[in-house]
Amino acid sequence: MRKIGIEIFYWIDQWSDDQIAYFQKAHDCGFDSVEISFVSGPETINIPRMRDELERLNLRVFCSTGLSTETDITSPNAAVRQAGVTYLRQCLETAAKLDSPALGGVTYAPWLFFPQTDDLRPYRDRSARALKEVARIADDLGIVLTLEVLNRFETFMFNTVDEGLVFLQQIDHPAVKLQLDTYHMNMEEDNLAAAIRRAGPNLGHFHCAASNRKLPGQGHINWHDIKRALDEIGYQKDMIIETFPNPNAETGRTVNTWRSLVENLDEEIKTSLAFLRENVA
């Protein structure tokens, strides 16, 4: 059975809040792992305290991050690109110290960044060149760098598995793989299960959310098809539930949550976890 984790910001109001404080909730709900983010920078992570809490609760951890305009590896400015490589190195090194098998997220361009030009190829090319260097760092640390495939409203870089695979060919390194999320896939893929099959061994990390970004089991995604596709490609890594359900919190508003997506955080996440264990894991 595939293990199931939770993106810890499910419970958190502010991006800067203490992520470790919510690990107990993940454990009590029955999760196998948690996903944390370096949203405030990897240097803000209390590595000894986090490791102790993960060990105490017997939880695995997965790390994620994103780039800013100051660390944009698509930038025409070489100094900015180098700052991005340095930042990703720091994130990878922190992930390694936490025993995270992967560093995922929007690791290839700033989130919600759309260049004002008709020719986007130079941005993709610069990102791929920078990620060749980052891939070697990840490989040396024994970590997989995953690139999350987002919908068209959140990035221009690539929006489908096929486009993501073309980008992976530019990087040409086995330490870099795709990260898929059923919420984004529901908007962009003609057939979710077929897209997973095309990703095949290039699938490095997997997020679960309903078609409307509610919890898995509450939308119209065919999870039986998802399970069959994951089984066929031999994907046995953790699946992570990711949703930001609170419209009155910074975490929800940042991703345009304008109505509450849950009524009872703890009870509904337990129901969704049970649904995934029965139908997908």
Domain boundaries in the chain? 4-279
Q: How confident is the model at residue 54 (pLDDT cuts 50, 70, 90)?
A: very high
In the chain, the percentage of residues whose pLDDT exceeds 90 is 100
- Which residues lie below 8 Å from residue 256, measured CB to CB, with a gap of 6+? none
Q: What is the mean pLDDT of residues 260-267?
A: 97
Question: What's the confidence (pLDDT) of residue 148?
Answer: 98
Question: What's the confidence (pLDDT) of residue 86?
Answer: 98
Question: ∠ CA(51), CA(57), CA(61), 5° rounding?
Answer: 50
Q: How confident is the model at residue 159 (pLDDT cuts 50, 70, 90)?
A: very high
Q: What is each CA distance from 9 to 36, 95, 240, in whole angstroms?
A: 8, 18, 12
pLDDT tens readout for residues 204-252:
999 999 999 999 999 999 999 999 999 999 999 999 999 999 999 999 9
Q: What is the mean pLDDT of residues 54-75?
A: 98
Instruction: Name the residue among 37, 1, 11, 2 with its Cα closest to residue 270.
Output: 11
Q: What is the mean pLDDT of residues 94-111?
A: 98
CATH superfamily of 4-279: Divalent-metal-dependent TIM barrel enzymes (3.20.20.150)
Q: Return the active site residues.
A: 148, 242
